[in-house]
Amino acid sequence: MSTVPDNLQYSKEHEWVRADGDVATIGITHFAQEQLGDVVFVELPEKGAKVRQYASLGVVESVKAASDIYAPISGEVVERNVKVIEKPELVNSAPYGDGWMIKVRLADKAELAQLLSPSDYRSHIGETAGAGGD
């Protein structure tokens, strides 16, 4: 699995976004889960809650410490990943798959343009170009 997949957008705070029409899925990156270590607890907003770009939307706790998850975009939560709440280790094993966090209905699609491209995110975390390839 790529550590920075080419089909996603990213935030500087190490969240990823997959926009699909009006709805975007949000998770944290491979780099983020590696920095955190073993994730043991995930706190996510309920369906219907509003998240605001750059504000904390939830928390991931590793054995070591708690870290905020920042909303890379604004919107209303249409689904939260119940599986990741029950099995927080999914954040480590599948950060871009079963370890996703929430899906939101986008409040402002223009915000997507502010996110980092895969290559920008790679340089942000100090990965050389192409290092994220399979």
Partner 1 sequence: MATEAPTMRRTPLYDKHAELGAKMVPFAGYEMPIQYEGIVAEHRAVRGRAGLFDLSHMGEFFFRGRGAGETLDRLVSSDIAGLAVGQARYGLLTNERGTIVDDVIVYRISEAEYMVVVNAANIAKDRAHVLAHLGEDVAFDDRSFGTALVAIQGPRAMEILASETDADVRSLPSFGVTQGRVARARATLARTGYTGEDGFEVFVANTDAAAVWDGLLAAGREAGIKPIGLGARDTLRLEARFSLYGNDIDETTDPIEAGLGWTCKLDKAFVGRDVIAAKKAAGPKRKIAGLVIQGGVARHGHEVTQDGDVVGQVTSGTYGPTVEKNIALAYVPTTLSKIGTALAVRIRGKDVPATVVKTPFYRRPE
Interacting residues with partner 1 (CB under 8 A): 37-38, 40-41, 43, 59, 61-66
By beta-carbon proximity to partner 1, the closer residue of 17 and 36 is 36
Distance CA 102, CA 118 (A): 20
Distance CA 47, CA 55 (A): 17
The answer to whether the CB of 24 falls within 8 A of the CB of 18 is yes
By beta-carbon proximity to partner 1, the closer residue of 41 and 47 is 41
Helices and strands in the chain, H and E counts? 4, 9
Q: How far is the CB of 65 from partner 1 (least distance, A)?
A: 8
Q: How far is the CB of 102 from partner 1 (least distance, A)?
A: 17
By beta-carbon proximity to partner 1, the closer residue of 1 and 59 is 59
Q: Which two tokens stand for residue 4?
A: 């920075």
Q: How far is the CB of 37 from partner 1 (least distance, A)?
A: 6
By beta-carbon proximity to partner 1, the closer residue of 17 and 77 is 77
Beta strand residue intervals within the chain, DSSP E? 9-10, 15-20, 23-28, 39-43, 50-51, 56-62, 66-70, 75-80, 102-106
The letter for the amino acid at 51 is V
